[in-house]
Structure formats: structure tokens, C-alpha cells
Amino acid sequence: MQVFWQSKKNQRRIVTAVKLLIAAVVLFYSLLPVVYTISSAFSPVQGVSRQLIPANPTLDNFREILYDQPFGLWMWNTTKIALISALLSAMITTLTAFAFSRFRFAGRGQLLLGILLIQVFPALMAMIALYSLLDQLGRCCIPALGLNTHGGLILIYMGGAMGLNVWLMKGFFDSIPRDIDESAMVDGASHWQTFWYLIFPLVRPIVIVVVILTFFGVYADWILPSIMIGTKSELFTLMLGLQTFIGNNYGQNWSVFAAGAVLGSILPVLVYILLQDKIVGGLTTGAVKG
């Protein structure tokens, strides 16, 4: 046995076999819920499928979710909210990180520490405050940003996504040599011109990452819409719409719910497949170039 293990070729084989075994276990554990969801979507029985491959697969669940329910409206609402929130959040986060990285002002360290500490507390702790904020904002000032509006929901998402993203992007800004700023100032460029023409192209990969990750987070959120939108069905997001199929204890329709989940997952999967290089590259490169 000792002679067998001392062989480098055998060692590599054993290590490779262990890695493949771990990968297989992780893959099985990750894909099993997805397989059951897809199986339930094609199941003729209105319940959770107990078979990996349904005996009599049918498309009736997909027909019901597409033709008998406002699935298109749910998808439109979700995509609109997620995309606007991601773009606005990335814009504000980028400008904030640039200011923290390049400017020195009173309270800078305390503000950075405060932004980080806020992320320690669970988001649910702020739900009452956010609900009250939107309620008062809608009543006294801007109805479009109050309760039961997409604008109010976007407003919350914009602030909630800034915390860790500011720290992440600040690290990228810090790694860019300040010589670029000084050279631009010598040539008469303003802070905005320095940021837009010289600094922003270098941090564009991480900006794309922030947009993508924020989009995914908002797209899959259920808690905030369920609280801030309530029962206005015309404003339902995909998650709220799907929840109606399983919210009634005496009328749960898991098969249609699974069909909607499968259709709703197509967009984020396509986004990830098309932009996966941007996600990996944005987290590992792009901070310093040239």
C-alpha cells in the first residue's frame, strides 16, 4: 500500500477521483431540487412530483400559466423593477465609491464604517421603518414613491444594494494609480472629466458585475414586494404572482407554480450564460490596466 501511494501517478489518480466524487455530490445536491421542479411542471397531478420523470407528462400547466394567468404582466413588472433598480444602484454606487476613494473630507472613515455596519443587521429589522417611510412619502410628498407603487419599491432597492457594493467598488478605485488623476488635473480636467473619461473605463467591469448581481437579487426577491405592494394584482411581480398558487392551504397548485418557476428562470439563466465572462472577469480583472 505504501509503495502504491508513493507513486506520483497513483497519487494524482486518487486526488482526481476524490475531486470528481466531491463534484458529483455537490452537483447532485444542487440539481436535485431543479429536477423535481421541472418534473412537477410537466406532471398531470396538481402536486409536488414524487418522480424524477412523470409517468404522463403534459403541457397543461404551462398553458394555464401562460394563457389563464397574467404571466406576461408579472414578468414585465419584475424585469422593469429589477433593471431600473440595478442601473440606478450601480450609478449611485459608482459615484459614491469614487468620492470615498479620491476625496478626503470630514467623517469619511466614520461613514465608510457605518455603511459596513448597517449590513450586519438583518434586512427584516428595517421593514417597519421602510413601510412607514414609504407611507409618509406617498401621503405628503410624492405619491409615485409611496406604498403600492413600483417607484417606492425601486427606491428601497437602490438604497439596499449600496452597502457592500460601495466597499467592493472602492477597492477597485483605490487600486487605480492616482497619477492618472494628477495628470488629468495638470491638463485642466475637472473631477467629473477625470472620472468619466479616465477612471470609469478602468472600473467598467466591476460596474457590470454590480448591475448583474443587483438585477438577480431584485428579480428573485419576494419579501419586499409582498410588504410594499400588498394585494394590488396589477403591480404583482413574478414572485408575488407565483405565490398566489400556493398561498391558499386548501387550493395549492404546485404543478402550475412549478411551471411558472421554470418559465421565470429562463431570463436569469440566459443573462448568466451570456454575461458569465463579465461576472468572472469583473471580479478578477479590470482594476489596473496599462
Q: Among 171-180, 185-194, 210-219, 249-258, which range has the highest average pLDDT?
A: 210-219
Average pLDDT of the residues in 7-27? 83
* pLDDT exceeds 60 at position 4: no
Contact of 87 with 157, CB cutoff 8 Å: no
Cell triple for 175: 487600486
Does residue 274 share a domain with residue 132?
yes
* pLDDT exceeds 50 at position 287: no
Please indicate, yes or no, if residue 252 is contained in any of the structural domains: no
How big is the chain, counted in residues? 290
Please indicate, yes or no, if residue 18 is contained in any of the structural domains: yes
pLDDT band at 109 (very low <50, low <70, confident <90, very high): confident
Q: Among 9-18, 29-38, 88-97, which range has the highest average pLDDT?
A: 88-97
Does residue 78 share a domain with residue 20?
no
* pLDDT exceeds 90 at position 81: yes
What per-residue confidence (pLDDT) applies to 275?
80
* pLDDT exceeds 90 at position 78: yes
Which domain range does residue 26 map to?
1-33
CA angle 200, 173, 290 (to 5 degrees): 70
Average pLDDT of the residues in 253-279? 87
Does residue 114 share a domain with residue 4?
no
Q: Name the residue type at position 11.
A: Q
* pLDDT exceeds 80 at position 290: no
Does residue 133 share a domain with residue 18?
no
Average pLDDT of the residues in 47-51? 67
List the CATH number of the domain containing 90. 1.10.3720.10
- Number of domains, the chain: 2
Does residue 202 share a domain with residue 114?
yes
d(CA 240, CA 238) in angstroms, rounded, equals 6
What per-residue confidence (pLDDT) applies to 288?
45
Does residue 189 share a domain with residue 97?
yes
Does residue 177 share a domain with residue 89?
yes
Going by C-beta distance under 8 Å and a sequence separation of 6 or more, which residues neighbour residue 195? Answer: 98
Alpha helices in the chain (DSSP H): 2-6, 8-41, 60-63, 71-102, 108-118, 127-140, 150-160, 163-174, 179-186, 191-193, 200-219, 223-228, 238-243, 254-264, 266-284
* pLDDT exceeds 90 at position 79: yes
C-beta atoms surrounding 139 within 10 Å = 11
C-beta atoms surrounding 122 within 10 Å = 8
